[in-house]
Amino acid sequence: MAQVTLKGNPVQVNGQLPQAGSKAPAFSLVAGNLSDVTLASFAGKRKVLNIFPSVDTPTCATSVRKFNAQANDVANTVVLCISADLPFAQARFCGAEGLENVQNLSTLRGREFIENYGVAIADGPLVGLTARAVVVLDENDTVLHSELVKEIAEEPNYEAALAVLK
C-alpha cells in the first residue's frame, strides 16, 4: 500500500504501480461510445496512461490539456486519459476544450485496472477514485516510466514521462 496526500492530508492507495522494466497488466476500460477497450486495442503503439481522479477538477483538466498539446510531438504514441468520469463527461470536456490528441477511457467497468495498476484510493474523500499517476509503455507494453504523484492536487512530471519516448 502506498501513501499520497490530498491537500496535505494522507491518503492510502491500494496496490503497486507497475515499475519500469515490468510488463503492463492487461486492462479493459470504457471508451466514449461505451464499448470496452483493452490494452491490446493499442498494440504496436507506445502509450502514455494519464491516470487521474476526475476531469472536472482543475489539476486533472490541466494534465489532459498539457498531454493533448504535446501528443503531436511524439511519434507512434497514443495518450490515454483514464478516470472514473463517465464517457459523456469526458467527451463534453474534450469537446468544449477542442482537445483531439488524447483518448479518454473510463474506469466505469474497469475496477481491475484500478487495482492492477496500484491507483485505488482506499480512504479519504476520494475513496473509490484513482490516484494521480502516469505510466508510459513501449510498443510491446513494457513499462518505460511510472510516477505515482505524491500530492493528488499537483501535476505529474510531464518532462520525465515524455523523455522516455524520445
Q: Is the pLDDT of residue 121 over 70?
A: yes
Q: Which structural domains are found in the chain, ordered by start? A: 2-164 (3.40.30.10)
Q: Report CA 120 to chain centroid distance, whole Å.
A: 12
65-80 pLDDT, tens digit each: 888 788 767 889 999 9
Task: Select the more confidently predicted residue: 59 or 153.
Answer: 153
What span, in angstroms and rounded, lies between the C-alpha atoms of 11 and 66? 26
* pLDDT band (50, 70, 90) for residue 133: very high
Over residues 98-102, the mean pLDDT reads 75
> Mean pLDDT across the chain, nearest whole number?
91
What span, in angstroms and rounded, lies between the C-alpha atoms of 63 and 21? 25
Write out the catalytic residue numbers.
Answer: 60
What span, in angstroms and rounded, lies between the C-alpha atoms of 5 and 95? 31
Give the pLDDT confidence score for residue 126 in this predicted structure: 94
> Do 134 and 162 touch, CB atoms closer than 8 A?
no
Give the pLDDT confidence score for residue 58 in this predicted structure: 78
77-97 pLDDT, tens digit each: 999 999 998 988 888 877 777
Give the pLDDT confidence score for residue 72 in this predicted structure: 67
Q: Per the structure block, which three cell numbers stand in for 120?
A: 485505488
> Do 96 and 56 touch, CB atoms closer than 8 A?
no
Over residues 124-140, the mean pLDDT reads 95
